[in-house]
Structure 1
Amino acid sequence: MPNTGVNAYPSRCRWLGLLGSLALAVGALSAGARSAADTGPALRASGGAGTVLVFAGLAVLVAAWMLMGRPADGQPPPDERWLNVTLTWWVAPLLLVPPLFSRDVYSYLAQGAMLAHGLDVYTHGPADLGGPTAVQIPQVWQHTPAPYGPAFLLVARAVAPLAEHPWVGTVVLRLAAVLAVAAIAALLPALARALGVDPAAALRLGVLNPLVLVHLIAGAHNDAPALALLLGGLLAATRRRAVLAAALVALAALVKAPAALALPVVCLVAAADRTWRAQLWTSARALGAAAGTVLAFTAVAGTGYGWISALTTPATSSSWSLTSSLGRLAADIAGTAPEGAVNVARLLGIVLAAAAIAVLGWRVVGRGSEPVAALAFAFAVLVALGPAFRPWYALWAVLPAAFAVRAPGVRRVVELACVVLVFVVMPDGFSPDGAELVLAVGGLGIGVGVVAAAERGISFRERQLAC
């Protein structure tokens, strides 16, 4: 009887994922976050068939990813090399398309142009720059400062000559994100081996994850280099290179501030199994390296420390998060203005997050819990209870969990959360209207139908070959 099971199953997952990625790419041409020259001042994409294609592609891509993690007829799961080749297949169609699910990349270009024109991005918004670059930015962000650190702003400034060419600038920043994801793909298996987790399972959950493909790659978000630097710091810590580990984590925080949460973790990991005096000395050197990195990069960038006060920029009055939604609900019930209730709810969320992180820290120090697994949970708490939420924020918890969390049930919950979050944003990054929701649901139905048809076709051929 022909051997159809061993080779056909991984192959069809790869091809299904490629089909989903291609549908995303084609759909992005009309439904993505296109430049103002294509959309007009409203910045809204035309949607239509493009929206249907994007959501059909998402459904197929997610199904391929989930099927890849399902045991099939006792065969061994795909190895690292196979997964890396598959990642290349799935990424390739997304390299040259307009941004998907967010217009943040246009803000990056505007901030680089502002620096090139001598504007302080921590006190001015893109509206103060004006011109063809600023018109790419949604109104809600026109007058807001940049919440990013000086390390990322150095990159944005280097791309400033492309700011008036949004498609070219997007592709360049996306290529930077691709390099960061490639670094993550190399770091995850090494970290998994250091912590005793299956490297291939870490690679599948952490890099082939549809959230990575649609937001770090297609959306070109700067979370990609920040996460790569963070993982590099954690790997250096597992190899007892405390100074390098702390410097990399500090550099990650100079891209996006949440990375600073990992600084005590790298100190603990790098100083493990040493005397208390050696642990103190290791931690002191690590903290000194982190402080030196911050001072050096801030001096080179010449931007100052205004990014600290600008960290609240993503939490606008209309931004979505669990705490913001609860605050608005409470205001609706009480019949009061939402601003006060939302602010109180957000403050309570921050207090609860701080308390939960403190408990996680106590469990690590007092009870010997795994520090990196605790870091994954700490990021999850921060993302869930923070004042603003975007689907790609979840990757700050997902990537550490991919190589540090062993419990199958927890890993399954992480997968399911990623599946849900993939579908919560429209391709152009704006809130949907009724017609767009109908198109999105229709696209999901088509994607599910394609996957079901592919499964039935494979099963039929296998039955025929077995006869």
Structure 2
Amino acid sequence: MAFPVDLRHCQALGLAGTAFLALGGETAGALPVRELWAPASVHAALGLVGVYFGIVLLTAAWLFLGRLVRGPRPPTPRALLLVLALWAAPLLLAPPLFSRDVYSYLAQGAMADAHMDVYAHGPDRLGGPLADEVAPMWRHTAAPYGPAFLALASALSGLTHGEIPAGLLGMRLVALAGVALMAVALPRLARHSGADPAAALWLGALNPLVLLHLVAGAHNDALMLGLLGLGLVAAHGPRPAAGAVLVTLAALVKVPAALGLPVVVALRIRSGDRPLPAVLTTAAASAATTVAATAVAGTGYGWIGALGTPVSPHNWALTSLLGRATGALLTRLDSGLAPLAVPAWHLLGLAVAAVAVLLTGRRLRARPVYALGLSLLAVAVLGPAIRPWYALWGLFLVAAAAPGTPVRHRSAALAGVLALAVLPGGGPADPGQLMLAVSGGVLGVVVLWQALLVARAPVPGRPA
């Protein structure tokens, strides 16, 4: 039996989901320190239940919308963009959710604005209220971000004068701009790749991970992906040098986007350029952009060395898990090699990721955007650190260039699972918080099930 859901139902259900997310975040989100509720308080408990209730509603709305996109009368890309704007609206003024990284961005921007070396010192050197908001494990850690992002963060710090509420809103607007660029790029990349633009928008922009982590979490990955997508669009056009500039700017936000530069070269060769001029002109445009962005930011080239910024000791990346397990085993065996276990597994993971990138690029030479998406997924999975939103590095481009429906189904399943992976406060979970989160999710499932039963029930006097 078909689900009795149309576009208006999807809009309303997703809006209810993000509204519950915003309301629950008022007591359970990554709030400023002075506004934090005790984890055991009734308000925080209700907020946590509300957030997971909202996640279930939002995810269900997204899945129902996916059925419409695959149906006989799919929504137009314009209609999907309106859905995205509607779903994102309640999150605009919500507190940060699922991570405290946005406070690190603000502190690093304030440091750059004060001409401190963000690549040599952590936010503890800044001191004051902003440094207090940064998660303790990162207060002594140098910035791992490129000069393009730090120049933007520095400008925002100057505009907001270090005021936290204004800074949070500014960072959220930057993230929204990145999501808007993603939404602009996706249909165009899909057409170039022979894919369905509506399906690309559904998986790449309306994805719950985008709303939960790029919008609600205000992560700078949104800006990286928006610039990367726009750069790949430009590389398909008559001014491919602009593509190299935009992709380089994306990499100067977060370095994984640098994998897009070989794709720019590949697209230039496909359009008729000879290989050597394509490589040289792309390299020249990238080098000039790097020099210019670094000069504007005034941060110097310390960001190259900062790429080795340490990861959280509780990080659940595959190589980190294997490293900790190996280290524990070596410790039980009284081996002096135990401290080397985690670094060794990290190096092995990076080596395997490099091989995967090379093999993927060679095998999918005719589909460079899709190859880039799979490569970025490999980097996220095999790298030394992983967060749910890192999956968007690859899913964004897989959405734009996936060769068939099964790939999209598997990608959607991955996104649905990862949407439930992090608590709204961004910290580690205790058993009580996990119980509350599960309760909120179960409540959402029960409410949806009852609503579907009511919608399917025959109305007296109307033919079944």
Change over 3 Å in CA distance of 1:117–1:19 after alignment to 2: same
**Overall identity of the aligned pairs, in %:** 45
Moved more, 83-92 or 331-340: 331-340
Tell which deviates more after alignment, 195-204 or 157-166. 157-166
Q: Secondary structure at the match of 1:271?
A: helix
Counterparts in 2 of 1:79 and 1:339: CA distance versus 1, 3 Å = farther
The answer (yes or no) to whether the contact 1:180–1:224 under 8 Å persists in 2 is: yes
2:11, 2:52 → 1: CA distance? 18
Match of 2:375 among 375, 378, 385: 378
- Deviation of 1:358 after TM superposition, in Å, equals 1.4
Q: 2:38·2:44 contact (CA, 8 Å) conserved in 1? A: no
Would you say 1:195 and 2:193 are equivalent positions? yes
**Structure 2 equivalent of residue 306 of structure 1:** 302
2:106, 2:217 → 1: CA distance? 13
Task: Name the residue aligned to 1:391.
Answer: 388
* Equivalent position of 1:416 in the other structure: 413
Q: Say yes or no: does 1:91 pair with 2:94.
A: no
Which runs of 5 or more residues in structure 1 are unaligned? Answer: none
**Which whole-Å deviations, capped at 9, do the CAs of 1:414-436 have from their partners, x for residues lacking one?**
10000111111110100000110
- In 1, the alpha carbon distance for the partners of 2:384 and 2:69 equals 42
Shift of 1:6: 11
Match of 1:131 in 2: 128
Does 1:296 find its partner at 2:296?
no
Alpha-carbon distance between aligned partners in 2 of 1:462 and 1:310, rounded to the nearest angstrom: 65
- From 261, 284, 296, give the equivalent of 2:259: 261
AA matched with 1:333: L
Whole-Å Cα distance in 2 between the matches of residues 246 and 300 of structure 1? Answer: 19
The one-letter code of the counterpart of 2:442 is G
TM-score by length of 2: 0.94
Deviations 1:38-91 (A, max 9, x none): 12899x996310000000100110011011112599541222122111111100
Do the aligned partners of 2:4 and 2:455 also contact (CA within 8 Å) in 1? no
Of residues 126, 130, 142 in structure 2, which corresponds to 1:145? 142
Of the three residues 265, 280, 301, the one matched with 1:284 is 280
- DSSP 3-state at the match of 1:67: helix
* Aligned-pair CA distance for 1:8: 4.9
Tell me what 1:27 maps to: 24
Q: How does 1:57-456 map to 2 (within 5 A)?
A: 57-70=54-67, 75-161=72-158, 162=160, 164-274=162-272, 278-313=274-309, 315-336=311-332, 339-364=339-364, 368-456=365-453
TM-score, normalised to structure 1, is 0.93
Q: Distance in 2 between matches of 1:78 and 1:320?
A: 38
Distance, in Å, in 2 between the alignment partners of 1:422 and 1:346 is 25
Deviation at 1:333, TM superposition (A): 3.4
The Cα of 1:165 is off from its aligned counterpart by 2.4
Unaligned stretches of 5+ residues in structure 2: none
CA deviation vs aligned residue, 1:85-134 (integer Å, no higher than 9, x gap): 11111000000011000011111110111112221000011111111111
For 2:210, the aligned partner's letter is: V
What is the number of residues matched between the two proteins?
Answer: 457
Alpha-carbon shift at residue 357 of structure 1 (Å): 1.0
- Residue identity opposite 1:202 in structure 2: A
Structure 1 74/461 Cα, relative in aligned 2: closer, same or farther at 3 Å?
Answer: farther
**Residue matched to 2:14:** 17
User: For 1:68 and 1:462, how far apart are their aligned partners in 2?
Assistant: 25
